[in-house]
Copies of this chain bind each other. A is one copy, B any other.
Amino acid sequence: MYKELTIAQRTIMTPGPVEAHPAVLQAMTNRILGQFDPNFLAIMDEVKEMIKQPFGTKNKEAFAIDGTSRAGLEAALIALIEPGDKVLIPAYGRFAFLLGEICERAQAQVKYVEKEWTAPFAPAEVIKEIDAFQPKIVAMVHGETANGQMQPLAEIGQYCRAKDIFFVVDMVATYGGVALSVDDWCVDLAIAGTQKCLSVPSGLSLVTYNERVEAVLNARYQKELGLSKTDRNKRHIMSNYLDLSQLQRYWNTERINHHTEATSMIYALHEGLRMLLNEGLDAAYQRHLTNEGALVAGLEAMGLSIYGEKATKMPTVTPIFIPEGVDGEAVREEMLHSFGVEIASSFGDLKGKIWRIGNMGYSSRKENILHVLAALEGALLYQQAPISAGKALIAALNYYQKTT
Interface of A toward B, CB cutoff 8 Å: 1-2, 4-5, 7-10, 12, 14, 16-20, 25-35, 37, 39, 43, 46, 50, 66-71, 74, 94-98, 100-102, 104-106, 193, 195, 201-203, 224-227, 236-242, 257-265, 267-268, 270-271, 273-274, 277-278, 336, 342, 347-348
Contacts and interface: CB of A to CB of B under 8 A. Distances in A.
Given A5-B27, A5-B270, A239-B239, A201 B101 contact: no
Nearest to A43: B5
A388 to B, nearest CB: 28
Nearest to A363: B32
Given A105-B238, A224-B98, A336-B37, A32 B18 contact: yes
A98 B201 contact: no
Given A2-B50, A25-B28, A37-B10, A203 B74 contact: no
29 contacts: A2-B278, A4-B274, A5-B27, A5-B43, A7-B39, A10-B32, A12-B33, A18-B32, A25-B31, A37-B336, A66-B71, A66-B203, A67-B71, A69-B260, A70-B258, A74-B241, A94-B226, A95-B226, A98-B225, A102-B241, A106-B238, A193-B260, A201-B263, A202-B260, A202-B261, A226-B347, A226-B348, A262-B265, A264-B264
Q: Quickly give the copy total for this chain.
A: 2
Contacts of A271: 4-5
Contacts of A95: 226
A106 B106 CA distance: 11
A203 B68 contact: no
A7 B268 CA distance: 13
A98 to B, nearest CB: 5
A233 to B, nearest CB: 11
